[in-house]
Amino acid sequence: MNTDQAAALGVRLRRIRHQQGMSLADVQARSDGRWKAVVIGAYERGDRAITIGRLQELAEFYGVPLVDLLPRPNNGDGANGVPDGAGRYVLDLTTFDPTRLTARPHLLPVARFAAQVRARRGDHNGRVLTVRTSDLEALALTIGQDLEVLVKRLRADGALLEAA
Protein backbone atom coordinates (compact mmCIF):
# COMPACT_ATOMS: atom_id res chain seq x y z
CA MET A 1 0.00 0.00 0.00
CA ASN A 2 1.49 3.34 -1.00
CA THR A 3 1.22 6.52 1.07
CA ASP A 4 -1.72 7.89 -0.94
CA GLN A 5 -3.64 4.67 -0.40
CA ALA A 6 -2.78 4.66 3.30
CA ALA A 7 -3.97 8.25 3.60
CA ALA A 8 -7.22 7.45 1.75
CA LEU A 9 -7.79 4.44 4.01
CA GLY A 10 -7.14 6.65 7.03
CA VAL A 11 -9.76 9.15 5.85
CA ARG A 12 -12.26 6.32 5.50
CA LEU A 13 -11.45 4.95 8.95
CA ARG A 14 -11.84 8.37 10.55
CA ARG A 15 -15.12 8.99 8.71
CA ILE A 16 -16.56 5.68 9.91
CA ARG A 17 -15.44 6.37 13.49
CA HIS A 18 -17.01 9.83 13.41
CA GLN A 19 -20.22 8.40 11.96
CA GLN A 20 -20.29 6.06 14.94
CA GLY A 21 -20.00 9.11 17.19
CA MET A 22 -16.78 7.88 18.77
CA SER A 23 -13.58 9.61 19.77
CA LEU A 24 -10.31 7.71 19.73
CA ALA A 25 -10.65 7.28 23.49
CA ASP A 26 -14.18 5.90 23.00
CA VAL A 27 -12.85 3.26 20.61
CA GLN A 28 -10.31 2.15 23.19
CA ALA A 29 -12.90 2.11 25.98
CA ARG A 30 -15.64 0.35 24.02
CA SER A 31 -13.22 -2.28 22.77
CA ASP A 32 -12.00 -2.91 26.33
CA GLY A 33 -8.51 -1.88 25.24
CA ARG A 34 -8.34 -4.19 22.24
CA TRP A 35 -8.01 -1.14 19.97
CA LYS A 36 -5.60 1.42 21.40
CA ALA A 37 -6.40 5.07 20.68
CA VAL A 38 -2.84 5.77 19.57
CA VAL A 39 -2.90 2.87 17.10
CA ILE A 40 -6.26 3.85 15.59
CA GLY A 41 -4.98 7.42 15.29
CA ALA A 42 -1.88 6.17 13.46
CA TYR A 43 -4.04 4.15 11.06
CA GLU A 44 -6.22 7.19 10.43
CA ARG A 45 -3.23 9.42 9.71
CA GLY A 46 -1.77 6.80 7.40
CA ASP A 47 1.32 6.61 9.61
CA ARG A 48 0.93 2.92 10.33
CA ALA A 49 0.10 0.05 7.99
CA ILE A 50 -2.79 -2.25 8.83
CA THR A 51 -3.05 -5.88 7.76
CA ILE A 52 -6.18 -7.09 6.02
CA GLY A 53 -6.90 -9.31 9.03
CA ARG A 54 -6.78 -6.38 11.45
CA LEU A 55 -8.82 -4.28 9.03
CA GLN A 56 -11.49 -7.00 9.00
CA GLU A 57 -11.49 -7.05 12.81
CA LEU A 58 -11.85 -3.27 12.88
CA ALA A 59 -14.73 -3.45 10.39
CA GLU A 60 -16.44 -5.98 12.66
CA PHE A 61 -15.87 -3.74 15.68
CA TYR A 62 -17.45 -0.78 13.84
CA GLY A 63 -20.24 -3.03 12.55
CA VAL A 64 -19.64 -2.22 8.88
CA PRO A 65 -18.73 -4.39 5.90
CA LEU A 66 -15.00 -4.52 5.19
CA VAL A 67 -15.57 -3.06 1.73
CA ASP A 68 -16.92 0.13 3.35
CA LEU A 69 -13.51 0.75 4.88
CA LEU A 70 -11.63 0.42 1.61
CA PRO A 71 -10.94 3.54 -0.47
CA ARG A 72 -12.93 3.82 -3.68
CA PRO A 73 -11.26 4.41 -7.06
CA ASN A 74 -12.11 8.12 -6.75
CA ASN A 75 -10.40 8.02 -3.32
CA GLY A 76 -13.74 8.75 -1.71
CA ASP A 77 -13.12 12.46 -1.90
CA GLY A 78 -16.54 13.27 -3.28
CA ALA A 79 -14.95 15.39 -6.00
CA ASN A 80 -18.19 15.38 -7.98
CA GLY A 81 -20.15 16.52 -4.93
CA VAL A 82 -21.29 12.99 -4.18
CA PRO A 83 -19.56 11.08 -1.39
CA ASP A 84 -18.50 7.51 -2.01
CA GLY A 85 -20.59 4.49 -0.98
CA ALA A 86 -19.87 4.76 2.73
CA GLY A 87 -20.68 8.44 2.70
CA ARG A 88 -23.60 9.85 4.57
CA TYR A 89 -25.99 12.67 3.85
CA VAL A 90 -27.79 14.75 6.46
CA LEU A 91 -31.31 15.73 5.46
CA ASP A 92 -33.10 18.69 7.07
CA LEU A 93 -36.48 17.22 7.98
CA THR A 94 -38.03 20.66 8.46
CA THR A 95 -37.99 21.12 4.68
CA PHE A 96 -40.45 18.22 4.43
CA ASP A 97 -43.11 19.94 6.54
CA PRO A 98 -46.45 19.55 4.71
CA THR A 99 -46.98 23.32 4.55
CA ARG A 100 -43.61 23.77 2.84
CA LEU A 101 -44.10 20.83 0.48
CA THR A 102 -47.04 22.48 -1.28
CA ALA A 103 -44.61 24.96 -2.83
CA ARG A 104 -42.11 22.20 -3.67
CA PRO A 105 -44.02 19.08 -4.74
CA HIS A 106 -40.84 17.62 -6.29
CA LEU A 107 -39.66 16.98 -2.71
CA LEU A 108 -42.65 14.77 -1.93
CA PRO A 109 -40.91 11.46 -2.88
CA VAL A 110 -37.93 12.42 -0.71
CA ALA A 111 -40.28 13.31 2.16
CA ARG A 112 -41.99 9.92 1.87
CA PHE A 113 -38.64 8.19 1.78
CA ALA A 114 -37.45 10.08 4.88
CA ALA A 115 -40.68 9.23 6.71
CA GLN A 116 -40.23 5.53 5.94
CA VAL A 117 -36.61 5.54 7.12
CA ARG A 118 -37.60 7.32 10.34
CA ALA A 119 -40.43 4.85 10.95
CA ARG A 120 -38.16 1.83 10.47
CA ARG A 121 -35.58 3.33 12.81
CA GLY A 122 -38.15 4.39 15.38
CA ASP A 123 -36.77 7.94 15.12
CA HIS A 124 -39.58 10.30 16.02
CA ASN A 125 -37.89 13.32 17.54
CA GLY A 126 -35.16 14.35 15.15
CA ARG A 127 -34.97 17.45 13.00
CA VAL A 128 -32.35 15.82 10.81
CA LEU A 129 -31.95 12.39 9.26
CA THR A 130 -28.66 10.84 8.25
CA VAL A 131 -28.85 8.45 5.29
CA ARG A 132 -26.27 6.47 3.37
CA THR A 133 -25.24 7.30 -0.16
CA SER A 134 -26.64 3.95 -1.25
CA ASP A 135 -30.04 4.96 0.19
CA LEU A 136 -30.08 8.13 -1.91
CA GLU A 137 -28.85 6.18 -4.94
CA ALA A 138 -31.85 3.85 -4.60
CA LEU A 139 -34.20 6.82 -4.19
CA ALA A 140 -32.68 8.55 -7.23
CA LEU A 141 -33.23 5.41 -9.32
CA THR A 142 -36.80 5.14 -8.09
CA ILE A 143 -37.66 8.70 -9.09
CA GLY A 144 -35.70 8.52 -12.34
CA GLN A 145 -32.89 10.93 -11.49
CA ASP A 146 -29.15 10.68 -11.42
CA LEU A 147 -27.75 10.78 -7.87
CA GLU A 148 -25.67 13.87 -8.61
CA VAL A 149 -28.76 15.70 -9.92
CA LEU A 150 -30.79 14.69 -6.86
CA VAL A 151 -28.04 15.86 -4.49
CA LYS A 152 -27.75 19.22 -6.27
CA ARG A 153 -31.50 19.70 -6.16
CA LEU A 154 -31.71 18.82 -2.47
CA ARG A 155 -28.91 21.29 -1.73
CA ALA A 156 -30.64 24.01 -3.74
CA ASP A 157 -33.88 23.40 -1.82
CA GLY A 158 -32.09 23.49 1.54
CA ALA A 159 -33.07 19.89 2.25
CA LEU A 160 -29.47 18.64 2.30
CA LEU A 161 -27.49 20.08 5.17
CA GLU A 162 -24.20 18.35 4.47
CA ALA A 163 -22.51 15.21 3.32
CA ALA A 164 -21.20 13.61 6.48
* Residue 86, C-beta contacts closer than 8 angstroms, at least 6 positions apart: 12, 15, 16, 64, 68, 69, 76, 132, 133
Q: What is the pLDDT of residue 86?
A: 53
Q: What is the pLDDT of residue 125?
A: 64
Query: Residue 128: phi, psi to the nearest 5?
Result: -130, 160
Give percent above pLDDT 70 in the chain: 87
Q: How confident is the model at residue 73 (pLDDT cuts 50, 70, 90)?
A: low
Interval 6-29: pLDDT, tens: 888 998 899 889 888 899 999 999
The mean per-residue pLDDT over the stretch 30-55 comes to: 94
The mean per-residue pLDDT over the stretch 99-114 comes to: 90
The mean per-residue pLDDT over the stretch 42-65 comes to: 92
Q: Is a pLDDT exceeding 90 seen at residue 43?
A: yes
Name the strand (E) or helix (H) holding 163: strand 160-163
Question: In angstroms, rounded to a whole number, what is the distance separating the alpha carbons of residues 164 and 127?
Answer: 16
Domains and CATH numbers, the chain: 3-69 (1.10.260.40), 88-163 (1.10.10.1930)
Calculate the CA dihedral of residues 157, 139, 14, 61 and round it to 10 degrees: 150
Q: Is a pLDDT exceeding 50 seen at residue 76?
A: no
The mean per-residue pLDDT over the stretch 36-60 comes to: 94
DSSP 71: P
Q: How confident is the model at residue 83 (pLDDT cuts 50, 70, 90)?
A: very low
CA 51 to chain centre: 24
Largest Cα–Cα separation, the chain? 53
Residue 79 three-state SS: coil
Is 124 buried (19+), middle (13-18) or exposed (0-12) by CB count in 10 A?
exposed
